[in-house]
Structure formats: structure tokens, C-alpha cells
């Protein structure tokens, strides 16, 4: 059953703590992305990776870190430096710019809702 | 700067009625345009995807149109159902560069019985 999974679905964190959100895909996609969604706002890009062992900052990377050691996995760490971490986090994957495909369509995971107490 | 603007911001309709959502974009050079449906608390799910040469595409009761000359797209929902209540997001991708798509803020649709 191919797809993209995120865990956990809900996450609670105390102020000052780092927390890591998991994202795994078995679609054989090269590219993976992390987005943040706040109520009434569109998706904002945090980080993206178009190939293993490489990643780029998005529009709101401050206070976040990522790694891409495996093609299937793209974990996101929300650090204590992130001032307003409470949000809905979405992971996505796509074939990537190096594939010959008709559409470089993004597929999204179910999301993780992070709440800072 | 690449931008995607959606209207209206929110919409309330009665079950069984039709509605049309709008998307205007300034993304260039244009590659493709996608409409996603996002239920509350869930990830977006793709409804349709269109390239430059496609000006209409249907997926059940959802029909998307694209006018690449005016850089406008619309999503028409026919005979709305309660399950259509969701946010509808327009996403446009450009050729080249980082291939990162540009997202609209979405239209929140509420279907009342």
C-alpha cells in the first residue's frame, strides 16, 4: 500500500523542548517537503529536499532543522528557537525535478498537529 | 514574484446547489495547475491537475477549467454534498528553477443541509 505517512498525529511539547516529527514515504519519490499551516492561512514551505543528503531552506526555516539520510525519510525537528511552533505540519513528496514525468505532483501526508503547552 | 490568489475566501451554500471557485495566478513560466481538497485536520488530496494544453478536466462532480492566456482557473462543483465541506487549494508550478509550487490560501466551502 503506497503512500506517505506522518507520526504522531498529535504532539504536545513543553516550551524550551525540541521535538521531531516523522515523515516516511514508499512512493520512490526523490523530493520531499515540509509545510506549516496556521488557521486561515495557506501552506508555507519550511524545508525541502530534492535528493538524498541534500536539503534547502524554504520561506520560514528559522527554528527548524531537517535531515535526509534516506530517500524514504525526511524528519523535521522543531527546536526551542522556533517562537510560535503551535501549528499543523504537513509533509509531502513528489517525483522530483530529475525525473521525466508528466506532472511533478505532490502527495501529502495526513499531518501532525503540534501544540506547545 | 510568483503569486496565486483565490476567491472567495469562504463560501456557504445549500446542499444540492452548484458553486464555482476562482484562482488567478502570476506564476511563470507556467507548468501545471492543481486543485486540492483539504478536509479539516487532514492533508490535501489532489482533485485535478492541468497543463498548458488542457483547458478542462473533470473528476466526478468536480470540473476544473484553465485559461492560460488570462492566467485564471476555476473549480466548479456540481450538486454539492455535505462531504464537499472543506478547503479547496489552488497550486501552480513553474518550469525550471527549484520546481517549488506556489500555493493559494484556499477557499473554505461549507455546505449546509
Express each pLDDT in A33-71 by its tens digit.
999 999 878 899 999 999 999 999 999 999 999 999 999
Task: Measure B78 CA to nearest chain A CA, in Å.
Answer: 25
Q: Which residues of B touch A42 (CB under 8 A)?
A: 89, 103-106
First vs last Cα of chain A: how many Å apart? 36
Q: What's the DSSP call for residue A70?
A: B
Q: Which residues of B touch A88 (CB under 8 A)?
A: 41
Say which residues have a Cβ less than 8 Å from residue B74's Cβ, sequence separation at least 6. B20, B21, B22, B23, B64, B65
Do the chains contact at A104 and B93, CB–CB below 8 Å? yes
Task: Please compute the mean of the pLDDT values over residues B71-84 and round it to a whole number.
Answer: 97
> What confidence category does residue A1 fall into, taking pLDDT thresholds of 50, 70 and 90?
low
- Lookup: cell for A74: 525526511
Distance CA B3, CA B24 (A): 8
Q: Which residues of B touch A103 (CB under 8 A)?
A: 32, 34, 49, 51
Residue A98 predicted with pLDDT over 80? no
Nearest CB neighbour to B46, from listed A50, A97, A105: A105
Do the chains contact at A42 and B31, CB–CB below 8 Å? no
User: Across A1-117, where does the E strand assignment appear?
Assistant: 4-7, 10-13, 19-25, 31-37, 43-51, 54-57, 64-66, 76-78, 87-94, 107-108, 112-116
Task: Please compute the mean of the pLDDT values over residues B54-58 and round it to a whole number.
Answer: 94
Distance CA A42, CA A32 (A): 18
Q: Which residues of A touch B93 (CB under 8 A)?
A: 104
User: Across chain B, where does the E strand assignment appear?
Assistant: 4-7, 10-14, 19-25, 30-38, 45-51, 56-59, 62-67, 72-77, 86-94, 102-103, 107-112
Nearest CB neighbour to B106, from listed A42, A50, A102: A42
> What confidence category does residue A105 fall into, taking pLDDT thresholds of 50, 70 and 90?
confident
Distance CA B99, CA B102 (A): 9
> What confidence category does residue B21 fall into, taking pLDDT thresholds of 50, 70 and 90?
very high
Task: Please compute the mean of the pLDDT values over residues B45-51 and round it to a whole number.
Answer: 93
B92 in Cβ contact with B33 (< 8 Å): yes
The residue with greater pLDDT, B14 or A105, is B14
42-71 in chain B: CB under 8 A from chain A: 42-46, 49, 51
Amino acid at each position: 500500500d503506497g503512500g506517505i505517512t506522518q507520526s504522531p498525529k498529535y504532539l504536545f511539547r513543553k516550551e524550551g523542548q525540541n521535538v521531531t516529527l516523522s515523515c516516511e514515504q514508499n512512493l520512490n519519490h526523490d523530493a520531499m517537503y515540509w509545510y506549516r499551516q496556521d488557521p486561515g492561512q495557506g501552506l508555507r514551505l519550511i524545508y525541502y529536499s530534492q535528493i538524498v543528503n541534500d536539503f534547502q531552506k524554504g520561506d520560514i526555516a528559522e527554528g527548524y532543522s531537517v535531515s535526509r539520510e534516506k530517500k524514504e525519510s525526511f524528519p523535521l525537528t522543531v527546536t526551542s528557537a522556533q517562537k510560535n511552533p503551535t501549528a499543523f505540519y504537513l509533509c509531502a513528496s513528489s517525483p522530483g525535478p530529475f525525473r521525466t514525468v508528466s506532472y511533478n505532483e505532490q502527495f501529502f501526508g495526513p499531518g501532525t498537529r503540534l501544540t506547545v503547552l | 514574484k510568483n503569486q496565486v490568489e483565490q476567491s472567495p475566501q469562504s463560501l456557504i451554500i445549500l446542499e444540492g446547489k452548484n458553486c464555482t471557485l476562482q484562482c488567478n495566478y502570476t506564476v511563470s513560466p507556467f507548468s501545471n495547475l492543481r486543485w486540492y481538497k483539504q478536509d479539516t485536520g487532514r492533508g490535501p488530496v489532489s482533485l485535478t491537475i492541468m497543463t498548458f494544453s488542457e483547458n478542462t478536466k473533470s473528476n466526478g462532480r468536480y470540473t476544473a477549467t484553465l485559461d492560460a492566456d488570462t492566467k485564471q482557473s476555476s473549480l466548479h462543483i456540481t450538486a454539492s454534498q455535505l462531504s464537499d465541506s472543506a478547503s479547496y487549494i489552488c497550486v501552480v508550478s513553474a518550469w525550471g528553477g527549484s520546481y517549488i509550487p506556489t500555493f493559494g490560501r484556499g477557499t473554505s466551502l461549507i455546505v449546509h443541509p
